[in-house]
């Protein structure tokens, strides 16, 4: 096994499996633009490497990822917010479109953008104490990295709306029951189980798996790229509103937001 240390994303090679570990523990692996850019570079590299036959994406013990680093949204100009949102959406799309199987190893929190990254993966192994959700409406925003589209494809309109409108969370057992998570394991076993599953997949015919992924995702796509573009533009329209500004500021100030409907 060889390893390469990076600032916010650590890469390790386990035979034919690439392990990418989100590594901003002090921020609960919240994504800022440099971290998104770094993850994207790893994904580009992996997609071009014919020796990689499967990918595991993991976080830390406390959090897979708590989502976007909202602190970076305070007073950010519109072009900066667009860059962050478009980069994040591209990262999630690149994960979904990798020709090899992707397995998310989820321990602790997977919220907001963190959950959207999980939703972009093919398979999910979650710890018994994992919590998954899309809390953006609490900030006066909406999921904008693919969450409205991918969650709806998984759960249907009513259940997706319930989770998004109420900013609800799923525990691992409920997520498994709904089909959001494939396997639930004790936290100590999540990463090893995900790696073992990826290693099993890496032994299968790679072209067959790539074609199977393409066919299944095409069947589930529905509105496809148009829906992702619509979602992104709707989110970008919320950032400059009074409620959007208040939600982000309240989060940074660790208080409950007061929305005025503007």
Query: Do residues 151 and 160 make contact, with C-beta atoms less than 8 angstroms apart?
Result: yes
Q: Is 116 a catalytic residue?
A: yes
Annotated catalytic residue within 97, 136, 225, 233: 136
Annotated catalytic residue within 12, 61, 97, 116: 116
DSSP 8-class letter at 5: -
Q: Catalogue the E-assigned strands of 107-239.
A: 109-111, 123-127, 131-133, 169-171, 183-185
Query: Do residues 22 and 58 make contact, with C-beta atoms less than 8 angstroms apart?
Result: yes
Query: Do residues 139 and 257 make contact, with C-beta atoms less than 8 angstroms apart?
Result: yes
- Give the span between the Cα atoms of 183 and 105, in whole angstroms: 10
Strands 9-14 and 2-4: antiparallel
Token code pair at residue 132: 């998954």
Q: Catalogue the E-assigned strands of 128-259.
A: 131-133, 169-171, 183-185
Residues 6+ apart with CB under 8 A from 53: 16, 17, 100, 201, 202, 203, 206
Token code pair at residue 256: 């409950």
Angle at the Cα of 184 from the Cα atoms of 182 and 187, rounded to 5 degrees: 135
Residue 210 CB neighbours (<10 A): 14
Catalytic residue list: 116, 136
């Amino acid at each position: 096994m060889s390893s390469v240390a990076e600032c916010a994303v650590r890469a390790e090679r386990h035979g034919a499996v690439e392990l990418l570990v989100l590594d901003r523990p002090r921020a609960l692996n919240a994504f800022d633009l440099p971290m998104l850019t770094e993850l994207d570079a790893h994904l580009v590299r992996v997609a071009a490497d014919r020796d990689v036959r499967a990918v595991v994406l993991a976080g830390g013990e406390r959090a897979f990822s708590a989502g976007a680093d909202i602190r970076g949204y305070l007073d950010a100009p519109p072009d900066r917010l667009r860059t962050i949102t478009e980069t994040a959406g591209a990262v999630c799309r690149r994960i979904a479109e990798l020709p090899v199987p992707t397995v998310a190893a989820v321990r602790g929190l997977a919220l907001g953008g963190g959950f959207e990254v999980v939703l972009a993966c093919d398979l999910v192994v979650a710890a018994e104490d994992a919590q998954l959700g899309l809390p953006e409406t609490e900030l006066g925003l909406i999921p904008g990295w693919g969450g409205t589209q991918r969650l709806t494809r998984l759960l249907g309109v009513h259940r997706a709306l319930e989770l998004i409108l109420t900013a609800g969370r799923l525990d691992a057992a409920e997520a498994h029951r709904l089909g959001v998570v494939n396997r639930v394991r004790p936290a100590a076993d999540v990463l090893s189980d995900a790696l073992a599953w990826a290693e099993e997949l890496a032994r299968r015919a790679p072209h067959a798996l790539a074609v199977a992924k393409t066919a299944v995702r095409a069947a589930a796509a529905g509105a496809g790229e148009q829906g992702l573009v619509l979602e992104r533009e709707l989110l970008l329209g919320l950032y400059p509103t009074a409620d959007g500004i208040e939600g982000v500021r309240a989060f940074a100030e660790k208080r409950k937001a007061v929305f005025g409907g503007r």
